[in-house]
Chain A
Amino acid sequence: ETGVTQSPTHLIKTRGQQVTLRCSSQSGHNTVSWYQQALGQGPQFIFQYYREEENGRGNFPPRFSGLQFPNYSSELNVNALELDDSALYLCASSLLRDRLSSDEQFFGPGTRLTVL
């Protein structure tokens, strides 16, 4: 069984740039959730993709966007980077049997983004 993987592990960008982060879900899972974790804080929900459609979104601006591919892998795109976007970006994989089911989420190793 393959676990959740993310790439890249670290990234340094400057304000105004755009970034794409990638996530491969655990084998057998169909759902990917993205979280932002600032230093000293708990993870904050950005959005979730279930069967290639957005299945919910947290309180993040539209410059945070994403998609999910047929193999259930996912991308998080952030446009017009701001200094406050510096954080650990976590991808969590789960198996949802319907849009509202509650199954455990397993996290990937994360991508550390630094915006200068």
Chain B
Amino acid sequence: QKEVEQNSGPLSVPEGAIASLNCTYSDRGSQSFFWYRQYSGKSPELIMFIYSNGDKEDGRFTAQLNKASQYVSLLIRDSQPSDSATYLCAVKPMNSGYSTLTFGKGTMLLVSP
């Protein structure tokens, strides 16, 4: 059973702080990693994807991947109340035979003004 694990939270941070969201995965052969944001009652929205070890930055967001530790994280700098949402980590397993995603349960982020 290929699994993706996330702390359900909530993770509470004050406005302007850095929020750090973490995800571990069990399939060592996983090749692609995605972060989605989901507001309550809405569908997931793709924030970032990362394929290679290291950091990838996009505006206030930085994705970090460490394949040796089977760990991927998302950093949100200068957190805003509008960032309050559930963040879903998704992984595409290697050799799945088709292109699909395995999701974690998500971490709820609360940014207080």
Which A positions have Cβ atoms within 8 angstroms of B? 31, 33, 35, 40-45, 48, 50, 55-56, 58, 88, 90, 92, 94, 96, 99-110
Q: Which of A40, A99, A100, A104 contacts B105 (CB 8 A)?
A: A40
Judge whether B74 is part of the interface by a CB distance below 8 angstroms.
no
Question: What separation, in Å, do the CA atoms of A42 and B49 have in the docked complex?
Answer: 17
Stretch at the interface among B38-46, B58-66, B77-85: B38-46
Question: What separation, in Å, do the CA atoms of A12 and B28 have in the docked complex?
Answer: 41
Instruction: Give 18 A-B contacts (CB < 8 Å), ordered by A residue.
Output: A33-B100, A42-B103, A43-B103, A44-B103, A45-B100, A48-B100, A50-B99, A55-B99, A88-B43, A94-B99, A96-B99, A99-B97, A99-B98, A99-B99, A100-B99, A104-B46, A105-B34, A107-B44
Question: What separation, in Å, do the CA atoms of A113 and B9 have in the docked complex?
Answer: 26
Contacting A at CB under 8 A, from B39-95, are 42-46, 49, 51, 88, 90, 92
A8 CB, min distance to chain B CBs, angstroms? 14
| Interchain CB contact under 8 A, B102 and A45 | yes
| Inter-chain contacts of A33 with B (CB < 8 A) | 100-101
13 extra interchain contacts, Cβ-Cβ under 8 A, other than A48-B99, A90-B44? A33-B100, A42-B104, A44-B103, A58-B100, A94-B99, A96-B99, A99-B99, A102-B32, A105-B46, A107-B36, A108-B43, A109-B43, A110-B43
Question: What separation, in Å, do the CA atoms of A42 and B102 have in the docked complex?
Answer: 9
Judge whether B31 is part of the interface by a CB distance below 8 angstroms.
yes
| Interchain CB contact under 8 A, B44 and A100 | no
| Interchain CB contact under 8 A, B88 and A42 | yes
| Interchain CB contact under 8 A, A109 and B97 | no
- A-B pair count, CB < 8 Å, reads 70
| Inter-chain contacts of B44 with A (CB < 8 A) | 43, 90, 107
* A102 and B92 contact, Cβ closer than 8 Å, known pairs A31-B99, A42-B104, A48-B98: yes
Q: Which residue of B lies closest to A33 (CB)?
A: B100
| Interchain CB contact under 8 A, A41 and B49 | no
Question: What separation, in Å, do the CA atoms of A16 and B104 have in the docked complex?
Answer: 30
| Inter-chain contacts of B49 with A (CB < 8 A) | 104
